[in-house]
Amino acid sequence: MEAHSQTDGLGASARCGCGVVLREYDGRIIVVLVRPGGAAAFSGKVAVGDEVSSVNGCTTAGMPASDVAHAIAGQPGSLVRLGLVHAGTGRSDGVWLMRMH
Protein backbone atom coordinates (compact mmCIF):
# COMPACT_ATOMS: atom_id res chain seq x y z
CA MET A 1 0.00 0.00 0.00
CA GLU A 2 1.31 3.38 -0.90
CA ALA A 3 0.25 6.50 0.89
CA HIS A 4 1.82 9.55 -0.66
CA SER A 5 1.31 13.22 -0.04
CA GLN A 6 2.46 16.29 -1.89
CA THR A 7 1.76 19.98 -1.90
CA ASP A 8 1.36 22.26 -4.89
CA GLY A 9 0.27 25.50 -3.27
CA LEU A 10 -3.38 24.45 -3.33
CA GLY A 11 -3.22 22.09 -0.37
CA ALA A 12 -1.90 18.61 0.30
CA SER A 13 -3.00 15.67 -1.79
CA ALA A 14 -2.55 11.97 -1.09
CA ARG A 15 -2.89 8.68 -2.96
CA CYS A 16 -4.18 5.65 -1.13
CA GLY A 17 -4.83 1.95 -1.68
CA CYS A 18 -8.39 2.08 -3.01
CA GLY A 19 -7.68 3.97 -6.22
CA VAL A 20 -8.35 7.58 -5.27
CA VAL A 21 -6.28 10.72 -4.88
CA LEU A 22 -7.40 12.93 -2.01
CA ARG A 23 -6.85 16.62 -1.35
CA GLU A 24 -7.67 18.75 1.66
CA TYR A 25 -9.81 21.81 0.89
CA ASP A 26 -11.01 24.07 3.70
CA GLY A 27 -10.63 21.28 6.27
CA ARG A 28 -12.52 18.73 4.16
CA ILE A 29 -11.01 15.71 2.39
CA ILE A 30 -12.06 15.72 -1.27
CA VAL A 31 -11.60 13.06 -3.97
CA VAL A 32 -9.69 14.76 -6.80
CA LEU A 33 -9.05 11.65 -8.93
CA VAL A 34 -10.61 8.20 -9.23
CA ARG A 35 -8.02 5.95 -10.85
CA PRO A 36 -9.30 3.67 -13.62
CA GLY A 37 -9.03 0.04 -12.55
CA GLY A 38 -9.01 0.86 -8.83
CA ALA A 39 -11.49 -0.33 -6.22
CA ALA A 40 -13.25 3.05 -6.12
CA ALA A 41 -13.76 3.02 -9.90
CA PHE A 42 -15.02 -0.58 -9.84
CA SER A 43 -17.57 0.30 -7.15
CA GLY A 44 -19.10 3.05 -9.27
CA LYS A 45 -19.97 4.84 -6.02
CA VAL A 46 -17.03 7.25 -5.66
CA ALA A 47 -16.72 10.36 -7.84
CA VAL A 48 -14.41 13.32 -8.18
CA GLY A 49 -15.62 16.05 -5.84
CA ASP A 50 -17.00 13.66 -3.21
CA GLU A 51 -15.99 14.40 0.37
CA VAL A 52 -14.54 11.55 2.45
CA SER A 53 -16.20 12.22 5.81
CA SER A 54 -15.08 9.05 7.60
CA VAL A 55 -12.88 5.97 7.32
CA ASN A 56 -14.11 2.82 9.06
CA GLY A 57 -16.49 4.94 11.13
CA CYS A 58 -13.85 7.44 12.30
CA THR A 59 -14.38 11.04 11.24
CA THR A 60 -11.84 12.70 8.96
CA ALA A 61 -12.64 16.18 10.34
CA GLY A 62 -9.42 18.07 10.97
CA MET A 63 -7.21 15.36 9.46
CA PRO A 64 -4.69 16.15 6.71
CA ALA A 65 -5.11 14.21 3.46
CA SER A 66 -1.96 12.19 4.15
CA ASP A 67 -3.38 10.91 7.47
CA VAL A 68 -6.66 9.95 5.77
CA ALA A 69 -4.67 8.09 3.08
CA HIS A 70 -2.80 6.20 5.81
CA ALA A 71 -6.12 5.33 7.50
CA ILE A 72 -7.43 3.97 4.18
CA ALA A 73 -4.25 2.04 3.38
CA GLY A 74 -4.03 -1.55 4.58
CA GLN A 75 -3.43 -5.13 3.56
CA PRO A 76 -4.33 -5.88 -0.08
CA GLY A 77 -7.63 -7.77 -0.15
CA SER A 78 -8.90 -6.31 3.13
CA LEU A 79 -11.95 -4.05 3.25
CA VAL A 80 -12.24 -0.38 4.16
CA ARG A 81 -15.46 1.60 4.60
CA LEU A 82 -15.53 5.19 3.39
CA GLY A 83 -18.21 7.61 4.49
CA LEU A 84 -18.91 9.95 1.58
CA VAL A 85 -20.80 13.18 1.03
CA HIS A 86 -21.54 13.20 -2.68
CA ALA A 87 -20.68 16.30 -4.69
CA GLY A 88 -23.65 18.17 -6.07
CA THR A 89 -26.31 16.33 -4.08
CA GLY A 90 -24.87 16.56 -0.57
CA ARG A 91 -26.22 13.04 0.00
CA SER A 92 -24.30 10.98 2.58
CA ASP A 93 -23.45 7.39 1.78
CA GLY A 94 -21.08 4.66 2.84
CA VAL A 95 -19.15 2.37 0.53
CA TRP A 96 -17.08 -0.72 1.22
CA LEU A 97 -13.94 -1.00 -0.93
CA MET A 98 -11.37 -3.77 -1.20
CA ARG A 99 -7.83 -2.49 -0.79
CA MET A 100 -5.55 -3.15 -3.74
CA HIS A 101 -1.82 -3.08 -4.37
- Read off the pLDDT of residues 6-53 as tens digits, 9 standing for 90 and up: 444 445 545 557 999 999 999 999 999 999 999 999 999 999 999 999
**Residue 75 DSSP class:** S
Give the structural domain span for 28.
Answer: 4-98
Taking only the tens place, the pLDDT of each residue in 13-22 is 455 579 999 9
pLDDT the model gives residue 81: 98
CA distance 11 to 4: 14
pLDDT the model gives residue 5: 41
Instruction: Residue 45: count other Cβ atoms within 10 Å of its Cβ.
Output: 16
Structural domains of the chain, count: 1
Q: What is the CATH number of the domain that holds 70?
A: 2.30.42.10
pTM over 0.85: no
